[in-house]
Amino acid sequence: MQETSPSVVYIEVLELMNSSKKSKEAFLADESGAKVEGTGSGFLWDKFGHIVTNYHVVAKLATDQSGLQYFKVTVVDAKGNKITTEAKIIGFDPTYDLAVLKFDPQGKELTPALLGTSSNLHVGQNCFAIGNPYGYENTLTTGVVSGLGREIPSPNGQAIRGAIQTDAAINAGNSGGPLIDSYGHVIGVNTSTFTLKGSGMSSGVNFAIPIDTVLRTVPALIVYGTPYCNRY
């Protein structure tokens, strides 16, 4: 799974304190005076700095009217050097719980994720979730594909059909990270888990958006900022 790790992105949603006179650039190096509103994961879509993640990871900033919130992303380049910089949201689709961020690679060579297909998955095959649960970067959890064709709720209340069910642990901060197969190919985007009521612990019933759905959705978000269906 070493091939996939460089493509995984750690995402922080930060809010500047009104009283602070520091610039955003200063906060990228030192977060004192900024409040962490949320964290999540994503993965590099291409070499141009596009990041795919879940809409619910970025929803607060997507609807922010204050101008005080921003994204801080951390990723490594092809040579293993860590890049920490600001990213902008350029498109999102709440119906499929998907969003695209963009950052400036600053001339660095990036390692995009290897994209697979979800059309030939079968129950029982091995899979792996990579993300940043609770801020622990590049955490790998293992499991199997437990079910296919599941229906889960989207952030706007509609149904996401065809979701992948897995027992690979998905915890807070894992959302938006890749679900990969044994060859390191992305087969889904980790998105949600059922928790045991009152415990906050995962029940082992976790879900990912199939990569074939992502492949149909993301190109339009990059070009237009909105889903293809919203343009007509």
Instruction: Give me the active site residues, please.
Output: 56, 97, 175
Q: What is the pLDDT of residue 39?
A: 87
Q: Is a pLDDT exceeding 80 seen at residue 226?
A: no
Look up residue 225 and give its DSSP letter: S
Q: Is a pLDDT exceeding 50 seen at residue 232?
A: no
Classify the phi-psi angles of 89: left when phi > 0, otherwise alpha if psi is within -120 to 50, otherwise beta: beta
Q: Is a pLDDT exceeding 80 seen at residue 27?
A: no
What is the reported pTM? 0.88
202-206, long-range: CB < 8 A, 24+ apart: 202/169, 202/170, 202/171, 204/167, 204/169, 205/146, 205/165, 205/167, 206/129, 206/143, 206/165, 206/166, 206/167, 206/168, 206/169, 206/170
Pairwise CA distance, residues 206 & 187, whole Å: 14
Most confident of 56-60, 134-138, 227-231: 56-60
Pairwise CA distance, residues 110 & 10, whole Å: 15
Domains of the chain (ranges plus CATH)? 5-103 (2.40.10.10), 125-217 (2.40.10.10)
**Who's near 156: CB < 8 A, 6+ residues apart?**
94, 95
> In the structure, what pLDDT confidence band is assigned to residue 106 with cuts at 50, 70 and 90?
confident
Find the range with the poorest average confidence among 26-35, 85-94, 216-225: 26-35
pLDDT tens-digit readout, 28-41: 555 556 777 888 99
Q: Is a pLDDT exceeding 80 seen at residue 229?
A: no
User: What integer is the mean pLDDT of 4-15?
Assistant: 86
Q: Is a pLDDT exceeding 70 seen at residue 24?
A: no
Q: What is the pLDDT of residue 231?
A: 46
Instruction: Kindly provide the b/e burial profile for residues 40-57, where b requires at least 16 CB atoms within 10 angstroms of the residue's own CB.
Output: bbbbbbeeebbbbbbbbb
